[in-house]
Each structure stands twice: as C-alpha cells, then as structure tokens.
Amino acid sequence: METLYVICVGVMTFCGVFLCLRGRTFSVVVGLTMLSYAVNLFLFSSGRLSLDGAAILGMAEEYADPLPQALTLTAIVIGFAMIAFVVILAIRARADLGNDFVDGRDPPDSDKLVKPNRGKA
C-alpha cells in the first residue's frame, strides 16, 4: 500500500510541477493546487498510514498519529488562502497588463532572452 501511496504522490508532484512551469497564469494556479494536494498527502504520511485508527479516544485500539493530521489540516486551509491569493493576483495582472502570461509580457515561452529592464519597455 505504501508503494501505491507514494506513486500517487509522485504522479501528482510531477503533474503539479509540470503545470507550474507553463507560461500562463491559470495553468500555474492549477499546478499549484495539484502540488498542494501532493504536499498535504506527503506531510500527512509522516504519521504513517494506518487504517481504522482515527485519533478519537475510545474509538479505536491503535490510534493514528494526530500531530501530522493537525498540521496538515491547517496546511489545507492556508493552501486555500495561498491559491486564492495567487489566482486573484493573476486576475489583477490580467487587468493591469492586458495578458495572462506569467512573465507579464509577450513572448513568455520562447527561448529568446527577455530584457531585464522591463519597466522601461
């Protein structure tokens, strides 16, 4: 089961990272969301995987580790706040710059060098 679990985490990380490397803001937001799922699962698994062991006293014989769960719970909520912030930033960037490129300008994805003094352009 552990092998299966880490394969899932690995696949999600792969998808998240690949999307984060795209040139458009929405892809990056989707990638970040995916990556935060992977990170949450990763963090959570530091308490090891146990079945039928919810950390509610008196409900199980052997309890799962409650600490990573508590940390992951806040991580999920904070992750949501972060995604929300990034997506609103993307909207604001679209409104102010008139495009949705991560680099804020055309062309985002070519191998041509982007000049550093972008403010003057």
Partner 1 sequence: MSLFWITAILLIGVLVPVVTERFGRTVNTLFTMLAPAIALAYIISLVPAVLAGEVIVEYLEWIPSMGLTLSMHLDGLALMFALLILGIGLLIILYARYYLSAKEASGRFFAYLILFMTAMLSIVLSNNVLQMWMAWEVTSISSFLLISFWSSKSESRKGARMALTVTGAGGLALLAGLLLIADIVGSYELSVILASGDLITQHALYPVALILVLLGAFTKSAQFPFHFWLPHAMAAPTPVSAYLHSATMVKAGIFLLARMYPVLSGTEMWFLIVSMTGLITLLLGAYVALFKHDLKGLLAYSTVSHLGLITLLLGLDTKLAAVAALFHIMNHAVFKASLFMAAGIIDHESGTRDMRKLNGLWRFMPYTATLAMVAAASMAGVPLFNGFLSKEMFLAETIHSSALGYVSWIIPVLATLAGIFAVAYSMRFIHDVFFNGDPIDLPKTPHEPPRYMKVPIEILVALCLLVGIFPNIMVGDLLAAAASSVLGTEELPYYSLAIWHGFNLPLLMSAIAISGGLIVYAYRNHLYRFQAQFREADEKLIFEGVVQTVVGWATKAHDGLSNGSLQRYVSALLIFTIIITAVPLINLATETTFRPDQAVSGIEITAAIILCLSAIATVIYHRKRMVALITLSVVGLIVSVAFARFSAPDLALTQLAVEVVTVILLMLALFFLPQKTPAESSPSRVVRDVGIAAAIGGIVATINYAFITQPVDSIAEFFLANSKTGGGGTNAVNVILVDFRGLDTLGEILVLGVAALGIFKLLARVRLAIPSANENGLAWSQDRHPPILAMISQSLLPLALLVSFYIFLRGHNMPGGGFIAGLITSVALIQQYIAHGVDWVKPRIKVDYQTLIALGVLIATLTGIGSWFFGRPFMTTWFDYFDIPFIGEIELASALVFDLGVYLTVVGATLLILANLGKLTSVHRPIAEE
CB of 30 to partner 1, least distance (A): 6
Residue 116, interface with partner 1 (CB under 8 A)?
Answer: yes
Taking alpha carbons only, the member of 39, 33, 18, 17 closest to residue 90 is: 33
| 32 contacts partner 1 (rule: CB under 8 A) | no
Whole-number minimum distance, CB 35 to partner 1, in Å?
Answer: 10
- Say which residues have a Cβ less than 8 Å from residue 79's Cβ, sequence separation at least 6: 36, 39, 40
Q: Does 61 bind partner 1 (CB under 8 A)?
A: no
Assess 97 for contact with partner 1 (CB under 8 A).
Answer: no
| Minimal distance, residue 106 CB to partner 1, in Å | 10
Residues 74-93 that bind partner 1 (CB under 8 A): 74, 76-85, 87-92
What angle, 0 to 180 degrees and rounded to 10, lies between the N-to-C axes of helices 25-44 and 2-20? 160
